[in-house]
A and B are shown apart, each in its own frame.
Chain A
Amino acid sequence: MAPGVPDRDGLPKLYKSVIEDVIEGVRELFAEEGLEEQVLKDLKQLWETKVMQSKATEGFFRHSHHTPQFTLQLPHNFHRVLQASAASLVIPTGRGFQHFTAADLGASRMGATLTLPSGIAYPIHVPAGVTLQTASGHLYKVNVPVMVTQAPGDASVLHHPVQQIFQSLGQPSVLQANIASAAQVNASSAPAAAETLQPQETAVQQTMVFQPNVMEKKHLESSANTTLVQQPSVSQQQLATNAVLNQHADATEKSQHSNLYTAVFTPESSEGFSPAESLANDSSSVLLDVEGQLDVEPQESVQQQVSDDIIDLIITGKSLDEYAVLKVQDSISFSDKMEPTEQMESNLQSEKDICSDIEGIIQLDGTGDVSPKEEIPHTKDREENESIGIIESEDLKVLEDEEDDDEECDSISNTESSSSGGDNEEPQIDIVEEDPLNSGDDVSEQDTPDLFDTDNVIVCQYEKIHRSKNKWKFYLKDGVMSFEGKDHVFAKAIGDAE
């Protein structure tokens, strides 16, 4: 390749030469394998097709059979023109004539469908009354003269003089420009229907950018070849779309989280008695079992999954209790999640009732002076949002009074201290708790985005990498760059960064 050849023209040639070299190089290999020449041709065809479709190289192929970027459907009055010009149609432009190969001249009275090769030079002036059809199947009827120009992003942009729209037609239905607005997704009409383009007066300026949001949203997977209009702001739209989707996702997540929290909260009441079980005698274990039954049954199976988390929440201390309180409060703040909390309330009450009953059983020595009922209503008076730890400690105190067991006292105090930061339960509790607590401390690593395919990547070799303090110098060579899908190559690259 001559040194003076511009990269834009040289890149497709370079790629083609590489493809040719590789195919020739493996021809013998294929022959040795006993494979037919056709397989090799298939490989080459597949390879070239993919490279073309990736739009990494501009104008990789200039054949007419190349997939057109869009087709023009001309109205009836242009039919004659098409016929007159035989196989070519001339559309007057502001700068000159653009010749197109008419794929179907006599298609219908409504007009002809033109297939525009990708190699056409922009801008194109599209007269009024033209229906534009993208390769994806969407039809856009243009009632006003539009100019189709080529945006830097290798896409065509429709610019139409708005003034003409309003002056010449005065019709309500004219070109519609869907400026990046995710809400426009819903506004999209049924596919395959000829859509009338209407202007958005608010967003209209000197030149309007026509953006087929409909097409974008519906054919996100379509290749760039099908895009009729400008894509520079597509990313904006996609961002908006993503934002909308994320919002939905977030809402979903929130609801899921609320599910989690509410599910967490109810088992807490049951789990609140688990230490009691470990502390007290079998009667309290009976309590726990009953409570477990009461609590678990009305709940969903999700609880089971989070039961460990619940234990963690309960046991790991006051700050964590507050955290749990906050979580519970958050969960309760969701109005649609009140049902589990109501169940939890009923559970608590039933627990306390049973607690009183069992305390009667536990109280063998008769030393318990404090009636559990006195305490339980006290806890009942408290908001449900208050930590289960408190309730737990209350019940444990009751048990303590009744049992008057040193072990229990110790264990209860342990539990109480655990409710304020102990660790007598599984060590997993702390670990599970710390993750949500300290998760906000980390600066986002951005490792995951590095793995994205859409990342702009340079693959090259380094001659020298130099650093002084925080100033880096890069001396690179023989590189292939990909920016926003477009490819470049370099023999040498020198860069600076800080």
Chain B
Amino acid sequence: MAYQLYRNTTLGNSLQESLDELIQSQQITPQLALQVLLQFDKAINSALAQRVRNRVNFRGSLNTYRFCDNVWTFVLNDVEFREVTELVKVDKVKIVACDGKSKYGI
């Protein structure tokens, strides 16, 4: 089982909304929708691991941190994200990070 972490992304949320619509119109069952999401978890995990190659650096000030159930949650303020191609500045960003070292689910 892959991390369900990426369901709260644009891609994941749009998939969930689409599945909800199909469930509403009774075209699929909730169980099937769950299977689709599980498949999505696998696909996105492997895609990120294999198809993405870029690096990003960032710097900011830490507002809050939380470590619970092996999940880190940070809130940073005034952050600069630096990539080779571009620079992005945001006032606030929330980082949710699952354990990347464990082989579980990857």
Contacts and interface: CB of A to CB of B under 8 A. Distances in A.
Interface of A: 1, 3, 6-8, 14-15, 17-19, 21-22, 25-26, 29-30, 33, 35, 39, 42-43, 46-47, 50-51, 54, 56-57, 446, 449-450, 455-463, 465, 470, 472, 474, 476-484, 487-498
Contacts of B97: 458-462, 465, 474, 476, 479
B52 A462 contact: no
A457 B81 contact: no
A394 B97 CA distance: 65
Nearest to B102: A461
Given A56-B10, A463-B101, A493-B57, A484 B90 contact: yes
A434 B45 CA distance: 50
A455 B18 contact: no
Given A7-B54, A39-B27, A459-B5, 5 more contacts: A18-B11, A50-B18, A465-B67, A476-B95, A491-B48
Nearest to B75: A450
A225 to B, nearest CB: 15
11 contacts: A6-B85, A7-B85, A30-B32, A457-B95, A458-B96, A465-B72, A472-B65, A478-B100, A489-B52, A491-B55, A492-B56
Contacts of A29: 32, 35-36, 39
Contacts of A497: 59-62, 74, 76, 79
A8 B61 contact: no
A26 B10 contact: no
Given A22-B36, A461-B99, A478 B15 contact: no
A43 B18 contact: yes
B39 A462 contact: no
Top-6 shortest CB links A-B: A461-B100, A50-B14, A46-B18, A462-B97, A56-B10, A495-B58
Contacts of B11: 15, 18-19, 51, 480
B57 to A, nearest CB: 5
B62 A498 contact: yes
Secondary structure dominating the interface of B: mixed
B22 A1 contact: no
B47 A21 contact: yes
Contact of B56 (A26, A490, A498): A490
Contacts of A462: 72, 97-100
Given A15-B11, A463-B101, A455 B92 contact: yes
Given A50-B18, A481-B81, A458 B94 contact: yes
Interface string B80-94: 010101001010111
B59 A495 contact: yes
Contacts of A494: 55-58
A496 to B, nearest CB: 5
A456 B92 contact: yes
B56 A482 contact: no
Interface of B: 3, 5-6, 8-11, 13-15, 17-19, 21-22, 27-29, 32, 35-36, 39-40, 42-45, 47-49, 51-65, 67, 72, 74-76, 79, 81, 83, 85, 88, 90, 92-101
Contacts of B99: 461-462
Contacts of A477: 100
B58 A33 contact: no
Nearest to A33: B32
Contacts of B22: 39, 42-43, 46
Given A56-B10, A472-B62, A487-B10, A14 B52 contact: yes
Contacts of B65: 472
A476 B97 CA distance: 8
B56 A456 contact: no
Contact of A35 (B27, B54, B64): B27
Q: Which of A42, A474, A478, A480 has the most CB of B within 10 A?
A: A478
Contacts of A480: 6, 9-11, 48
A54 B96 contact: no
Nearest to B17: A50
A54 B14 contact: yes
Contact of B6 (A1, A450, A459): A459
Contacts of A487: 9-10
Contact of B94 (A450, A465, A491): A450
Nearest to A464: B101
A252 B18 CA distance: 39
Contact of B28 (A33, A461, A479): A33
A47 B15 contact: yes
Contacts of B60: 495-497
Contacts of B98: 460-462
Given A51-B10, A497-B60, A483 B95 contact: no
A167 B72 CA distance: 61
Contact of B27 (A42, A450, A472, A479): A42
Contacts of B100: 460-463, 476-478
B90 A456 contact: yes
Contact of A456 (B21, B47, B94): B94
Contact of B8 (A19, A43, A459): A459
Contacts of B74: 474, 497
Nearest to B39: A25
